[in-house]
Structure formats: structure tokens, C-alpha cells
Amino acid sequence: MAFKTQKTFYITTAIPYVNAEPHLGFGLELVQADVVARHRRLIGDDVRFVTGTDENALKNFLAARERGMEPMDLIERNAAAFRELREVLDLSWDDFIRTTEPRHIRGAKKFWQACDPGDIYKRSYRGIYCPGCEEFKTEKDLADGCCPEHPHTKLEAVEEENYFFRLSKYQDAIEDLIASGRLEIIPETRRHEILSFVRQGLQDFSISRSSARSHGFGIPVPGDSSQVQYVWFDALTNYINALGYADDAEPFRRYWRDGDMVLHVIGKGIARFHAVHWPAMLLSAGLPLPKKIFVHGYITVEGQKISKTLGNIIVPKEIAGEYGTDALRYYLLREIPAFEDGDFSEQKLVERYNGDLANGLGNLVARVATLGERVSPIPLVEVSLREDIRAATRETREAVRSATDSFRFNEALADIWRLIGVADRFVNETKPWAIEDEAELRVVLANACAVVVAVADLIEPYLPGTTGRIRAQISLKDGEVIVKRGEGLFPRRA
């Protein structure tokens, strides 16, 4: 075996249904995961970042029928819109899995068969079913008799023969896993919610549906053609199928079986599936468990929940087209608190854009580039930097590293913008435009450039495109800063 020098870091997002085009909420999740993936790559980890689409859901079929479309046509169209987010949001995923791909279907079948046979049993089930969630609900899940996720969807009373998974058997194991922190759930509030849910007692859950009621959608249950796998059973296995679980492929062994870190990034609505069902399923199949689950909140638009009914769906492509990819990334990461719900409004986006990007970062880079070009290249010797500048830069690096490691993206950006403020004040105080002595000017600009170079490094996981554009104007090479003034980074918006 070769000596392993790099730690592996496997990071996934949820795989959304493709019954509609991607909205801003999933854009948030992708951008957050992308920051973590880029951050870990810069640290030197062997990163694998995977996203994808859940295409076996009955919901997709129902959405197509509503539009008078062939299901696969709708799925192809929307799956393409999801893949397009890679360019729209400048994402760095390594792989994109669709659950209609053979690698997923074979993996989902293999996983079913790998589960302890005593854990899967058939019984008649009668329950309240939310077609929106494709999930049976218990009374305590409901709010005013409705699904909290789908208050406008009519709930159905359903009775059918299904396979069940013996989740109750894993009560102690799951409780211990979460309580001990071996499965870390972030933030703490979500960990508490999950733990108290587990402590109420875990109940076996249905993991199949009748093939007839699924309109042929879904992955067949091995050995029983009358049943297809419940979409949430097969969908979770995408995380290992993307790595080649079906064939015990090298990426599966490297990132999952023998991996150092497995992190799932998800929204709060599906935390139970990931923190309770999935670990129990993996235990049953004798496979290693994920180590961390990061749960983000939801985005409201102008204070209201995003919904088709309200017609307030924000399409990431339109916002990015209007304001730029990094302006949208910045808003999502800075304005939406990573652990809670946050709000999107175009007015706030314009305020953030003008205040932080145009007047803040953009203005600093333009000033330093204009002044610096006259005396470029500027030797950058650490000892010639002012102590307060050095200290502020060093402290910001540490704070940003720690905030990013713990998913406090908004705090990391606030820290970086404080450093931008330090540089602004430094330029205002030292007034380089009034300095006539060239040697003195070089020292002052070395300080200003050092901060800009540090800022470009620090924002790289967050605003990768902007980092590239700053480095095209101000960059450090062989101990010298090369300055070449370019176009403004963020032209002011009216």
C-alpha cells in the first residue's frame, strides 16, 4: 500500500428532485458546499465533491403529467438546469450523479441486498401520506392537520403492503452515535432536535411502495417485482453509488470505506433521513458511517417562504446574470446566517453589492492598483511591513480558517471585510498619493499590497472568480508585488 500523505475529504450535497428548476435555496446549499470543498483543497486535502439529482421520485412523474410532458423529457430538461448551476454559481464539484444512471440503480439494489436480512420485513401499513414529501406522516409531524412543508397539498389516507426497515433495532446505536459526537451534527440546535427525536423512540419505516402506485417509477426491490424502493431509501445510497459502491471501485474504497472525512451538507427539512435513517441503513449493510452532517436553514424571499403558489421563486441564473456570480455567492454566504434561516431581497442584494463589493473591496483594489502601478514591481519583505498591518492580516487568516472550518461562512466574510477596512484606513492615513519620495512610497504600497494579496487568498474559496481578477491586477511573485491596473471589479449599481 502506498503511503498516504493527504487526508481524504468527501463532501456531498443533497440530491434534489427534478420536478422543477433549481431555486435559490438549493443554490445556497451548493455554494456552501463549494466553499468547504475549495477550502479543503487549498489546505491540501484529497477532496471529492459530489452533487446530483434525484430522478426516481414519483413527484417528478406527477409534475410531468401536470404539464402534459413525458416524464423523461421533464427530467432531462430540469436535470440540465441543475447541471448548468456549475457555471452559473462557479461550482467546483467533481462528479454529478443522476439516480437514473446504471451506477446508481445497481448500487441501490446491491445495498438493499447487503442489509441484514433480519432488518427488512413486509407488513401491511396504513398511514397519512403527503404526496409532496412522498412520505408517510405521523400526527406529530403535522401542523393544523397539514404537512408543514406542503401546507397546500391534500394529505391521503393510504393502506398498502410494504417492506419495512427495522430502525427500532438501531435505537441505542444511533443515540450513542449522536450523543458521543462520533456523528457530528452541526449546528448544535439541529443536533439537539435530532437527539430528542431519537430519544422519543425510533419506529421502523416503510422502504418500498407498490410498483402500481409508482407508475413504473423507482428502482425495483430485488426479488419482488410488485414493489419499488421508497425514493428515500434508494436516494440516500447515491452518496456511495457516486463513488462506485456497486463495483467496490477505488473511489469508494478511498473516500468512503477507508476515508478520513465524509461530510453531508443538507437542508433542515431532511435532517432525519441523513442523521437517523442513513446511519442505521449503513450499520445494517456493514458499511462505515459519515462523520459530519452540516444542516443549513431555508431562504425566504422578502420575508416569505419560497413557493410556486406565491410565485416568488428566485432563479439563481437570473440573479447571477444581472449582478454577477460572485455578487450572488457573496450575498448567500454573507447575508444568510449559515445555521439559521435567512432572507433574500433584491434591495438588500444591491445594498450589499454597493456597500461591500463596489465601495469596499472593489474600491480598495482600484486605489492600490492605481497608486501601485507607478512603482511596480514592489519588493515585499515581511519585516518592512508595519506591525499593525502584519498583526491584522495574521489574525484575520486565523479567524477565517477557524470560521470556515466550522461553517460560519458569514463570520469569515465579516472578518475579511474588517481587514479590508484596516487597509482602507491605512491608505487614508498614509496618503500615498501625496508621497513624493519613491522609496517611502514603495514601503507604504508594500503594506497596502500585502493586505490586498492576503484578501485575494482569503476570499478564494468564497469568491473564486474575484480572486482571479484581483491577482490579474495585484499579485505576489518571487517576493515582489506586480501591479497592473485593470477594470473595476464591481461597478457601482444604481
Q: Quote the Cα angle for 449-451-452, to 5°.
A: 65
**132 vs 465 by CB, closer to Zn ion:** 132
Q: Quote the Cα angle for 470-358-412, to 5°.
A: 70
**62 vs 482 by CB, closer to Zn ion:** 62
Rounded Cα distance between 266 and 454, Å, is: 31
231 binds Zn ion (CB under 5 A): no
Rounded Cα distance between 290 and 6, Å, is: 19
Alpha helix locations (H) across 242-294?
250-251, 271-272, 278-284
Q: How far is the CB of 193 from Zn ion (least distance, A)?
A: 18
**15 vs 416 by CB, closer to Zn ion:** 15
155 binds Zn ion (CB under 5 A): no
Q: How far is the CB of 197 from Zn ion (least distance, A)?
A: 17
**133 vs 371 by CB, closer to Zn ion:** 133
Tell me, what amino acid is at 482?
I
Binding to Zn ion, residues 370-409 (CB under 5 A): none
Q: How far is the CB of 322 from Zn ion (least distance, A)?
A: 32
Q: How far is the CB of 161 from Zn ion (least distance, A)?
A: 23
Q: Quote the Cα angle for 232-27-343, to 5°.
A: 105
**16 vs 362 by CB, closer to Zn ion:** 16
149 binds Zn ion (CB under 5 A): yes
**86 vs 150 by CB, closer to Zn ion:** 150
Q: How far is the CB of 145 from Zn ion (least distance, A)?
A: 12
- Cα 179 versus chain centre, distance: 25
Q: How far is the CB of 261 from Zn ion (least distance, A)?
A: 32
Grid coordinates representing 189 are 440546535
Edge to edge, the sheet with strand 95-98 lists: 95-98, 46-53, 8-13, 261-267, 292-296, 184-186
**277 vs 367 by CB, closer to Zn ion:** 277
Q: How far is the CB of 167 from Zn ion (least distance, A)?
A: 20
DSSP string for residues in 185-244? EESHHHHHHHHHHHHT----EE-EEETGGGTT-SPEETTEEEEEE-HHHHHHTHHHHTTT
Q: Which stretch binds Zn ion (CB under 5 A): 147-155, 309-317, 365-373, 417-425?
A: 147-155
361 binds Zn ion (CB under 5 A): no
Q: How far is the CB of 130 from Zn ion (least distance, A)?
A: 3
Q: How far is the CB of 290 from Zn ion (least distance, A)?
A: 25
Q: How many residues bind Zn ion (CB under 5 A)?
A: 6
**150 vs 169 by CB, closer to Zn ion:** 150
**150 vs 401 by CB, closer to Zn ion:** 150
β-strand 480-483 against 378-379: which pairing, if any? antiparallel
Rounded Cα distance between 254 and 33, Å, is: 20
Rounded Cα distance between 447 and 453, Å, is: 10
Rounded Cα distance between 79 and 53, Å, is: 7
**14 vs 147 by CB, closer to Zn ion:** 147
Binding to Zn ion, residues 21-80 (CB under 5 A): none
Q: How far is the CB of 153 from Zn ion (least distance, A)?
A: 6
What radius of gyration do the chain's Cα atoms show?
A: 25
With b meaning 16 or more CB within 10 Å and e meaning fewer, what string describes 129-141? Answer: bbbbbbbbbeeee
DSSP, res 417: H
Q: Which stretch binds Zn ion (CB under 5 A): 148-156, 218-226, 286-294, 379-387?
A: 148-156
Q: Per-residue contact track with Zn ion, 113 to 142, x per CB under 5 A?
A: -----------------x-xx---------
**148 vs 181 by CB, closer to Zn ion:** 148
Rounded Cα distance between 31 and 330, Å, is: 10
150 binds Zn ion (CB under 5 A): yes
Binding to Zn ion, residues 426-485 (CB under 5 A): none
Q: How far is the CB of 245 from Zn ion (least distance, A)?
A: 29
Contacts 24+ apart (CB under 8 A), 337-340: 337/297, 337/410, 338/32, 338/187, 338/296, 338/407, 338/408, 338/409, 338/410, 339/186, 339/187, 339/189, 339/190, 339/295, 339/296, 339/297, 339/407, 339/408, 340/297
- Choose which of 147, 287, 319, 441 interacts with Zn ion (CB under 5 A): 147
Binding to Zn ion, residues 265-294 (CB under 5 A): none
Q: What are the residues binding Zn ion (CB under 5 A)? A: 130, 132-133, 147, 149-150
